[in-house]
Amino acid sequence: MIFYMYALRRFGRQIWREPHTVMGASLLMLLLSLPVVTAGLALCAGVQYMHDKERGIGITWRGAVQSVRPCMGKAIAMGIVDLCCLVACVSAVAWLVAGRDFALTLLSTVFLYLALFYLSTALYRYPILVLNPSLPLTQVALCATGIALKNLGYVFLYWCVLLLALMICAVTGVGLVLLLPGASALLMATAWSESLKRDEYKRTNAA
């Protein structure tokens, strides 16, 4: 649990100390996702932008876009699947609210849980794809699922932070555009780096 809290602290500290970096990532992601179907590419570029910042590399929009070119097609495809999953989640919620047929309600509940878990794996899918563009999407999804299952605590915190951010953005309005996309990319980059540190810590202790 200490790793999750440390990652969350890093995430909050970076937003507080460097909001301009998060805003830069947000604007880049918004420009790349103007056709909604390229949302996956926008997420990959945002993750690359924040990852470069974390490593101390000079960050530019052009550099981030060039870095994700090798995985451009896969990123767009994965983003389209995620968008379809979101639409399916909304439909499942609508069926649950209606609640007319017990069997259909039960099926919608099961599907909603599975779909939300799949969306949670985005926390690791996009960083994995950015850093390993040659991997097939099935392997990216399986690897991300395995990491998410081992880090369910962080996945829970991810949803809590995301819901909190949505509430704040709903109140402020402008934050929805200037902070939420970049904060999502930062959360993904932080989650990935912390999961690597956690695995390294376990290997060191086991040795």
Nearest CA among 191, 68, 190, 79 for reference residue 137? 79
Q: What is the pLDDT of residues 96-133, one digit of tens each?
A: 777 677 777 778 788 888 888 888 888 889 989 988 88
Average pLDDT of span 125-153? 87
CA dist 80 and 84 (Å) reads: 6
Q: What is the pLDDT of residues 33-66, one digit of tens each?
A: 888 889 999 999 988 888 887 776 667 788 888 8
CA 25 remoteness from chain centre = 13
Residue 46 · residue 182 · CB < 8 Å: yes
Average pLDDT of span 142-168? 75
Residue 68 · residue 28 · CB < 8 Å: no
What's the pLDDT at 106?
79
What's the pLDDT at 200?
57
Say yes or no to pLDDT of 147 above 90.
no
Name which residue leads in pLDDT, 19 or 86: 86
Using a 10 angstrom Cβ sphere, with 0-12 exposed, 13-18 middle and 19 or more buried, the burial of residue 45 is buried
pTM score: 0.79
Count of CB atoms situated within 10 Å of the CB of 134 = 9
What's the pLDDT at 101?
73
> What's the one-letter identity of residue 63?
G
Q: What is the pLDDT of residues 16-34, one digit of tens each?
A: 777 778 888 888 888 888 8
What's the pLDDT at 139?
92
CA dist 83 and 38 (Å) reads: 10
Enumerate residues 6+ apart whose C-beta is below 8 A from 111. 88, 92
Residue 191 · residue 158 · CB < 8 Å: yes
What's the pLDDT at 76?
93
Name the residue with tokens 């451009």. 72
Name the residue with tokens 């202790």. 205
Q: What is the pLDDT of residues 162-202, one digit of tens each?
A: 677 667 666 666 666 677 777 778 777 777 676 666 655 55
Q: Which two tokens stand for residue 16?
A: 């507080």
Enumerate residues 6+ apart whose C-beta is below 8 A from 42. 28, 29, 30, 31, 32, 33, 79, 181
Name which residue leads in pLDDT, 201 or 142: 142
Say yes or no to pLDDT of 2 above 60.
no
